[in-house]
């Protein structure tokens, strides 16, 4: 029966335009009509002007047609059972659309128009299961507005609400349609980033690295864009900054749960706020991560030491290849940043003498010249990456953080 078919369509459709399309297609087929439309108030149903085909009102309010069927190329007159069926189908369709609207209100934050925490708990569980099934990587960003309480205290709650709307809009306008954005609670937002890899990434390790690189780039890009969208109050431009915590997963962990990914993202967010705010931190960093910096230029060793120490890492420095080999002979490190050109024992000499150690730590080479032959040699010796001098904080954020996240994720 046509009514049973319509009920099934309405029950299994979650988008209003899809529901209308499927129902009108089913009605057109049932009536053997060329085309069927369901006219609603937004269609601006005329009160008196005739429309093409047969128009049958479903709802009339204050002597005005609110909802109606328009049947083109079908029966010229609707009688008896067909008319009754169309009336019933019309009411079912109206109820179905209202239910979708109510459902939308239940999962959307009224202030930012982003998904809310209730929907976060439901949807992210679904996405985790999808990732496990297809073994595709994904990431979660936890975003917190820095010093949000001061916006409310100094400028009032209306200003605080406007800050939330600004951040929500920036996140919505600068992410992919496949990314899921939530107002997680208070001044905190969450973004679920499914598979950021390129189509030609075939190997698992390659897919994970590409995804991690893209995740960090996305997080930092959003942080920078938010800073470019200040709150304007009484002609005054008030900057907004955010701290972002990142957790990334390869998709192979079948025991992974929602609480696992939230906990790791929260840990990263906490570290971002504790180490100065207005920054991106990644899962897996810990106070016990050991870094050896080998460079004969004091300026670079100081820069790198300050950079890593401020983020909670244990940092050791060496100003020569001899000192580096001495340290490596009795201490273990997770990462070594190694200058390739030093007097006496060079960085290449160090690499050549520690092949077994390279298997247990990441070696990132520092070089002034991006020479193809040097790159070939350092990769042959087991180095995982190189950083080209001159080095700045921005350069480190862009070119180094992916290496650390990949190692610890």
Q: What are the distances in angstroms from CA 214 to CA 138, 170, 195, 218, 232?
A: 11, 18, 10, 6, 32
**H-helix segments, 331-408:** 347-353, 355-358, 372-381, 393-399, 401-408
CB 41 within 8 A of CB 47: no
CB 128 within 8 A of CB 254: no
Instruction: Check 162, 187, 281, 406 and give the catalytic one.
Output: 187
* Residue 274 falls in the annotated catalytic set: no
Task: Tell me the C-alpha distance between 144 and 113, whole Å.
Answer: 17
Q: In what order do the strands lie in the sheet with 385-388?
A: 314-318, 290-294, 335-339, 362-367, 385-388
Task: Tell me the C-alpha distance between 192 and 403, whole Å.
Answer: 21
Task: Tell me the C-alpha distance between 273 and 17, whole Å.
Answer: 43
Closest CA to 75 of 36, 39, 26: 36
CB 218 within 8 A of CB 211: no
CB 166 within 8 A of CB 240: yes
Task: Tell me the C-alpha distance between 220 and 233, whole Å.
Answer: 26
Q: How many residues does the chain have?
A: 409
Strand partners, 176: none
Q: In what order do the strands lie in the sheet with 242-249?
A: 180-185, 188-194, 138-145, 242-249, 280-282
Task: Tell me the C-alpha distance between 132 and 149, whole Å.
Answer: 39
CB 146 within 8 A of CB 276: no
SS3 259: helix
What's the angle, vertex CA 381, arms to CA 379 and CA 384, rounded to 5? Answer: 40
Contacts of 59 (CB under 8 A, 6+ apart): 65, 66, 67, 68, 90, 94
Active-site residues: which are they?
187
């Amino acid at each position: 029966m046509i009514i049973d078919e319509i009920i099934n369509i309405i029950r299994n459709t979650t988008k209003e335009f899809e529901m209308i399309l499927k129902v009108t297609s089913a009605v057109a087929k049932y009536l053997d009509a060329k085309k069927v439309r369901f006219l609603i108030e937004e269609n601006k149903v005329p009160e008196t002007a005739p429309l093409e085909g047969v128009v049958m009102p479903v709802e009339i309010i204050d002597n005005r047609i609110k909802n109606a069927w328009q049947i083109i190329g079908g029966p010229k007159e609707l009688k008896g059972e067909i008319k009754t069926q169309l009336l019933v189908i019309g009411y079912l369709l109206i109820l179905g659309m209202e239910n979708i609207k109510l459902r939308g209100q239940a999962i959307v934050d009224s202030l930012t128009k982003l998904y809310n925490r209730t929907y976060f708990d439901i949807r992210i569980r679904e996405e985790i299961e999808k990732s496990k099934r297809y073994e595709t990587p994904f990431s979660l960003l936890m975003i917190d507005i820095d010093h949000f309480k001061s916006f409310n205290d100094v400028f009032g709650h209306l200003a605080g609400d406007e800050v939330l709307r600004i951040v929500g809009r920036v996140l919505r306008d600068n992410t992919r349609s496949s990314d899921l954005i939530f107002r997680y609670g208070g001044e905190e937002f969450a973004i679920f980033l499914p598979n950021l890899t390129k189509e030609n990434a075939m190997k698992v390790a390659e897919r994970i690295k590409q995804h991690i690189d893209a995740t960090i780039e996305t997080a930092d890009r959003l942080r920078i864009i938010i800073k470019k969208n200040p709150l304007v109050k009484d002609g005054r431009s008030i900057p907004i900054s955010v701290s972002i915590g990142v957790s990334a997963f390869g998709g192979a962990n079948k025991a992974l749960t929602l609480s696992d990914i939230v906990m790791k993202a929260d840990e990263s967010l906490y570290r971002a706020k504790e180490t100065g705010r207005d920054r991106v931190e990644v899962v897996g960093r810990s106070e016990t991560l050991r870094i050896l910096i080998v460079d004969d230029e004091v300026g670079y060793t100081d820069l790198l030491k300050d950079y890593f120490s401020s983020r909670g890492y244990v940092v050791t420095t060496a100003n020569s290849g001899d000192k580096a080999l001495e340290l490596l002979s009795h201490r273990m490190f997770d990462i070594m940043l190694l200058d390739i050109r030093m007097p006496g024992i060079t960085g290449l000499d160090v690499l050549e003498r520690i092949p077994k150690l390279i298997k247990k730590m990441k070696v990132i080479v520092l070089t002034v010249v991006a020479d193809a032959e040097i790159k070939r040699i350092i990769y042959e010796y087991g180095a995982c990456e190189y950083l080209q001098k001159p080095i700045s904080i921005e350069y480190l954020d862009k070119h180094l953080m992916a290496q650390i996240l990949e190692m610890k994720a």
